[in-house]
Amino acid sequence: MTASALTRPLIRELVGRFCGRARGDAELGPIFEAAVSDWEAHLEHLTAFWAASLLGERGFSGNPMAAHARHPITPEMFDRWLVLWGETARELFAPEISEVLEERAARIAESLKLGLFFRVS
């Protein structure tokens, strides 16, 4: 399977498994549980985000920076997020796909960290 074989249903599977892991995580779980009231809607929203990011699909609307700014997160939490994302990606996909997923997630996490915590006035 090549990275171009990534599909929206596969992204949905990844997002669902990742969120299950994150919800059960001692560090991230409380943040996720406090932030999300409708998990099905949240999973669809995240799937739309990742499908836009990875497949170029249209249909995602939202502001990830503003969404994350509303919650008591720290820069270090992104590191934990990346660990869980990587574990999930490697469970589901061959290395050529999991590497793409991990690289994209790392770029997104870095962008969010810079925007949320390291703004220069």
Q: What is the pLDDT of residues 65-94, one digit of tens each?
A: 888 888 889 999 999 999 999 999 999 999
Q: Give residue 68's pLDDT.
A: 87
Mean pLDDT computed over 98-108: 96
Torsion of CA 83, 88, 90, 93, to 10 degrees: -150
Q: Give yes or no for residue 2 having a pLDDT over 60.
A: no
Q: Say which CATH number the domain at 102 has.
A: 1.10.490.10
Side-chain half-sphere of 116: how many Cα atoms within 13 Å?
22
pTM of model > 0.85: yes
Confidence bin at 64 (pLDDT 50/70/90):
confident
Range from 18-22, 66-70, 90-94, 117-121 carrying the lowest mean pLDDT: 117-121
Residue 121 pLDDT more than 70? Answer: no
Portion of the chain with pLDDT greater than 70, in percent: 94
How many structural domains compose the chain?
Answer: 1
Q: Which residue has the higher pLDDT, 52 or 69?
A: 52
Domain of 21 in residue numbering reads as: 3-117
| Residue 61 dihedral angles phi and psi, to the nearest 5° | -135, 135
